[in-house]
Structure 1
Amino acid sequence: MDIKRSLVLLFSSYGCFLFAQEKTIDTVYIFDNQMNKVKLFHKVNTITPKDIEKNTTNLSELLRFQSQVYIKENGRGAVSSPSFRGTSAGHTAFVWNGININSNFLGQGDVNNIPLFGYDQLEVKAGGGSVQYGSSAIGGSIHLNNNLDFNKDFGAALYSEVASFDTYNNFAKASFSNDKFSFKVSGNYFISQNDYEVREKEYINRNGRYYNTSVNVGASYKIAPHQTISWQNQIFDGSQYYPIFVENGNKTKYKAQTLRSLLAWDIHKSKLSNSLKAAYTEDNFQYFGDIDKPKESGAEGKNYIFKNDFNYFITPKINVNVIGEFQVNKGEGYQSGIGDISRNMGSVAGLVRYFATQDLRFEAGVKKDFVEDISSPLLYSFSGKWNAMKWYNIGMSVSRNLRIPSFNDLYWEKGGNPDLLPETSTNLDMDHEFSFGDFKITLSPYYMDVKNYINWLPTPYGYWAAFNTYKAEIYGLESQVTFNKNFGKHGFRLNAGYTYSKSINKDTGMQMVYVPIHKAFGNIDYQYNFLRVYVQGLFNGLTYTTTDEKRADAIDPYFVLNTGISATLLKKYTLGFKVNNITNTVYQTVSYYPMPKRNYSVYATINF
């Protein structure tokens, strides 16, 4: 349902903002209920399961080729982290079904240890969002969402892929629903020897093997006409072997296990809705300095989360939303000096939405975090959206956001600093949307002022330590062009974007490391009858890897081109072939770790 239709429904009765959701509750249950409200004021890019099939290597590859996020990856499948709008890895929030899942130890999302398959939608929201989604939502947030359909009977699908470098990828899902009960289960197993070679760099990705398994289970039951009890569960187990540069080098590896379980009770009526969630998440990892010996270090983290989202229409035009959350974060390190620690966190947020007319709406929000042993500032957000003309919409947002220091920042020995302050940012975001027939063009200038930047720096005592160091000024422009056209048996779709990012350390005046000034991506899909062809490209500009902008150490610009073709027979059977890096480009996203040159995959899908 598009925003225009949602707003028409808004004026048809009291609480029409929820009226659309109430009408569709017989069809689908959405776990992240805030996202529907966010979309009324902010641009959100949605990546569908069909889009995911283009980039099935890992979540890093998908975000690199289908979003504005820059992903730095230590070789394919290895350590990976995002840079969203010129910010650092800790300034992107990963949100699973409305719950922030950034690591308590790292303070960021471990991209290649987040499952790729098993979601109904993967959504990318740029700009500040800490009022709704908590710590780290400074540069933007990445949302991993599951839905549960009602009245859909039985459905199932199998996906199997064989690719270069002894890579095998298998995914299966099944679902059943009637008018009261919905159930969905899926599982994915991925393994790759990942032993690619880049002769121009005299590089072989030795010991680059990785494999992982994930399982997703969801269920929902209508206990009354307007009440639903739902459960979502995810289990992930992964292993990464870190590349070595010489044949007889010391082989290391990293293992990660995550468990996420979410129970929700939702009430939806015409003027009122309430979503009560209880979640348990667990993040464990182990590092092996020698793959044949016991672990050298690791950590176990457990989070208990309670969240309530209350939404009420005072009048047909005024909507109030109160969000309360309480967390208990527990962690215990191994060989890191981090003992058995526990941290209590709570927050209260209030938002007021005013729908002046069908084409003009505003939202104002305020939030206070209460973090044990940490002083947190008052956060705020103000957003407006105006459909000024049929062909032009404008949106604006001003917000204050934060990132709370991680367990490693605070307690690692030696180097952790318990006196750290939270990082804070002031964000100004705008969206200018132009529609010309089937074309849509969006221009999004942005500005961020980040204070109390947390950095790990060398000390005179021979070890590195965490400090609140400099301030950063970040500004730039995001743009996106989309085109959708169907005529007869033909279908054409374009999704392309360009990002300009200046990310300046205010103390030095220099561009921050691993922030490309220019990034562009594009995806073109063409379908005729049962045949589908796609081409996707990625351009990445010059990327500095040192704080002094040393050109000799910078990553050179590169352009990578992928393509694929698939055929669907009898609406059930699909056979596809993909070629990645068609032009054999030599490129890297992190110094010294080249990415694969031309490689191939064949896949098949069966829908029941």
Structure 2
Amino acid sequence: MDIKRSLVLLCSSYGSFLLGQEKAVDTIYIFDNQMNKVKLFHPVRTINPKDVEKNSTNLSELLRYQSSIYIKENGRGAVSSPSFRGTTAQQTAFVWNGININSSFLGQGDVNNIPLFGYDQIEVKAGGGSVVYGSGAVGGSIHLNNILDFNRGFKASVFSEAASFDTYNNFAQASFSNDKLSVKVSGSYVTSQNDYKVPEFVVGNTGFNNVNGRYYNTSVNIGASYKIADQQTISWQNQIFDASQHYPIFEDNGNRTKYKAQTLRSLIAWDIQKNNLSNSLKAAYTEDNFQYFSSLNLPKASGAEGKNYIFKNDFNYFITPKININAIGEFQVNKGEGYESGIGSISRNVGSLAGLIRYFATKDLRFEAGIKKDFVENISSPLLYSFSGKWNALRWYHVGANFSRNFRFPSFNDLYWQPGGNLDLLPETSTNIDMDHEFSFGDFKITLSPYYMDIKNLINWLPTPLGYWAPFNTARVESYGFESQVTWNKKLGKHSVKLDAGYTYSKSVNKDTQLQRMYVPLHKAVGNIEYGYSFLSVYAQGLFNGLTYTTTDQQRSTAIDPYFILNTGISAAIFKKYTLGFKVNNVTNTVYQTVSLYPMPKRNYSVYATINF
């Protein structure tokens, strides 16, 4: 996408898209062409590669300390899932370059089986987004974006980190671009023995020892974009990921198990960009395979292979300088085959049509309305809609409001797992209302975002009289609260200070019992402060997590107690090409859990180096 043209510059001084003006800036191609439109109406938190260096263990750690999402991790590096505004992991959409990549089997993304490295931006959007990003975008969405720029010549970088518990993180990236061609290649290798100990956390008669906690993963990313004409671009993005996780055990002589996962994602896009219209045609292939080993030395005990073929077209047109229409059509073929799960060879066709209209009334006032219908084979899907408005009421005060209906259709496991799969399941639906109040005072900015969600037909797996578990549409959930964010950036000569802090209150109750739902902390607060002087930079990072219930009956005895974690680090830039850094995580040596019975590491250290070419 050409940011010299209208749809990337977005808003002119009149609140509309720039239709005739051009600006002498570099050209870039963004694979998720909808994200710039989303930002017109919704706050989106952006995490850049420099931020990743502070929390480079895995994607779980990054999101835990740099977003409002609650991350449930079965011990460091193991199974991990997000809870967004009190919703389930299945109600958070992972979006890779504009394509929803939630597992067809689980209906969610396993955070630690998604690579941390290889993206140019990681963006977090709170609130419903099913009209644009499909099934699962109920509580929010996590966007993994790649960008290709032109006329930048050759650039390369290497990041290498050694940390406690025999942990090594390595990432290398190289890119080349001229006025016609842009190519970027990157790769990462992460490995850890992960043999941390928490002697204060007693399991049986001894302290916790993370026996059999080893993990490793590798990823390769390749991206290319070529301008076939002044207003047309052909682009390709490809990601290959391979991972292995050994599941922790509580006794040295316990049964040692492991889980292996492989993913392939490949996306081809043809973009046409003119002054008053644009069209993006995408074809994608994604593959998700996994194997579970009930013993390290035995063949796999269960597994599955999933393949998805995706075709998507996004057409955008300005009827007038103030009225913009957007039509999105998508068709998918989801195929899967299970092993020792009762799931045979299955296939499902999924299609959707969405339309959005945006009206830029003045330079300070704009509106958007959207409607979408999904066509899911053998499932009756609801009509989805969204309404948004943004008003820059005063120079220092902006307000936005959003109302939407969102959904999640049942996963392959929900429908076909044997015994237990339920072919009569209905999609989960939600009604979302939220507001955003933004206050700006010089370098100081505050955002307050109250929200409300009413979720129906929640899918729960419950025990049956026949002795197995099965999914049912059982619960109605009411979730409400607010998110807040404070940022402050100040630069004075060689001194610079950056503050980024947020607090979230999440009340999420089962309407039948009026009890708080499992693994939804009422309170979460995160804060990052960084001070820089000349070539030195020092940061401190804090996380407070409130009382978290781990059972549906809200038992205090089994709840996770509140905890506070403090991280800190220092880095030095040498000759502008080299960076050396040292980090201390969990400075206060706090004993804490994110999932019951699986403590996280106490104080640990890392040293890293970055080289830019």
Please tell me the TM-score bracket, short chain as reference. over 0.9
Change (3 A) 1:189 1:24: farther
Taking the aligned partners of 1:469 and 1:248, their CA distance within structure 2 comes to 40
User: Do the aligned residues in 1 keep the contact of 2:19 with 2:321 (CA within 8 Å)?
Assistant: no
Change (3 A) 1:383 1:552: same
In the alignment, is residue 262 of structure 1 matched against residue 267 of structure 2? Answer: yes
Change (3 A) 1:59 1:251: same
Deviations 1:394-442 (A, max 9, x none): 0000000000100000000011101100000000011000001101000
User: Do the aligned residues in 2 keep the contact of 1:587 with 1:595 (CA within 8 Å)?
Assistant: yes
Deviations 1:341-400 (A, max 9, x none): 000000000000000000000000000000000000000000000000000000000000
In the alignment, is residue 9 of structure 1 matched against residue 15 of structure 2? Answer: no
In the alignment, is residue 244 of structure 1 matched against residue 249 of structure 2? Answer: yes
In the alignment, is residue 156 of structure 1 matched against residue 137 of structure 2? Answer: no
In the alignment, is residue 406 of structure 1 matched against residue 411 of structure 2? Answer: yes
Change (3 A) 1:31 1:387: same
Amino acid at match of 2:231: H
Matches for 1:169-568 after TM superposition, within 5 Å: 169-201=169-201, 202-568=207-573
* Aligned-residue RMSD, C-alpha: 1.5
Taking the aligned partners of 2:530 and 2:149, their CA distance within structure 1 comes to 27
- 1:464 positional shift: 0.3
Taking the aligned partners of 2:57 and 2:10, their CA distance within structure 1 comes to 39
3-state SS of 1:553 partner: coil
The normalised TM-score by structure 1 is 0.98
Residue 37 of structure 2: aligned partner: 37
- 1:25 positional shift: 8.3
User: Do the aligned residues in 1 keep the contact of 2:10 with 2:37 (CA within 8 Å)?
Assistant: no
User: Do the aligned residues in 2 keep the contact of 1:10 with 1:316 (CA within 8 Å)?
Assistant: no
Taking the aligned partners of 1:323 and 1:17, their CA distance within structure 2 comes to 22
Taking the aligned partners of 1:135 and 1:606, their CA distance within structure 2 comes to 40
Taking the aligned partners of 1:25 and 1:31, their CA distance within structure 2 comes to 19
Q: What is the count of residue pairs matched by the alignment?
A: 604
Residue 75 of structure 1: aligned partner: 75
Amino acid at match of 1:155: K
Taking the aligned partners of 2:434 and 2:301, their CA distance within structure 1 comes to 44
Find runs of 4+ consecutive structure 1 residues off by over 6 angstroms. Answer: none
- 1:490 positional shift: 1.0
Amino acid at match of 1:266: D
Taking the aligned partners of 2:603 and 2:398, their CA distance within structure 1 comes to 42
Deviations 1:537-566 (A, max 9, x none): 000000000111000000000000000100
User: Do the aligned residues in 2 keep the contact of 1:7 with 1:358 (CA within 8 Å)?
Assistant: no
Deviations 1:579-602 (A, max 9, x none): 000000000000000000000000
User: Do the aligned residues in 1 keep the contact of 2:10 with 2:36 (CA within 8 Å)?
Assistant: no
User: Do the aligned residues in 2 keep the contact of 1:105 with 1:406 (CA within 8 Å)?
Assistant: yes
User: Do the aligned residues in 1 keep the contact of 2:358 with 2:368 (CA within 8 Å)?
Assistant: yes
Deviations 1:490-539 (A, max 9, x none): 11111110000000100111000000000000011111110011110000
Taking the aligned partners of 1:244 and 1:26, their CA distance within structure 2 comes to 53
Amino acid at match of 1:115: P
Taking the aligned partners of 1:87 and 1:100, their CA distance within structure 2 comes to 18
- 1:16 positional shift: 2.6
Amino acid at match of 2:493: G
Deviations 1:87-129 (A, max 9, x none): 0111100000000000000000110000000100000000000
- 1:26 positional shift: 4.7
Taking the aligned partners of 1:514 and 1:347, their CA distance within structure 2 comes to 33
Taking the aligned partners of 2:10 and 2:154, their CA distance within structure 1 comes to 33
Deviations 1:124-175 (A, max 9, x none): 0000000000000000000000000100000000111000000011100000
User: Do the aligned residues in 2 keep the contact of 1:206 with 1:243 (CA within 8 Å)?
Assistant: yes
User: Do the aligned residues in 1 keep the contact of 2:242 with 2:263 (CA within 8 Å)?
Assistant: yes
Amino acid at match of 1:192: S
Taking the aligned partners of 1:386 and 1:602, their CA distance within structure 2 comes to 46
Deviations 1:302-340 (A, max 9, x none): 000000000000000000000000000000000000000
The normalised TM-score by structure 2 is 0.97
- 1:17 positional shift: 5.2
Amino acid at match of 1:9: S
- 1:255 positional shift: 0.2
Taking the aligned partners of 1:511 and 1:17, their CA distance within structure 2 comes to 48
Taking the aligned partners of 1:227 and 1:429, their CA distance within structure 2 comes to 38
- 1:27 positional shift: 1.9
Taking the aligned partners of 2:408 and 2:25, their CA distance within structure 1 comes to 35
Residue 141 of structure 1: aligned partner: 141
Amino acid at match of 1:16: F
Taking the aligned partners of 1:79 and 1:110, their CA distance within structure 2 comes to 7
Where does the alignment leave 5 or more consecutive residues of structure 1 unmatched? none
Change (3 A) 1:434 1:89: same
- 1:486 positional shift: 1.0
3-state SS of 2:529 partner: strand
The percentage of aligned residue pairs carrying the same residue is 78
Amino acid at match of 2:472: F
- 1:9 positional shift: 2.3
Amino acid at match of 2:407: L
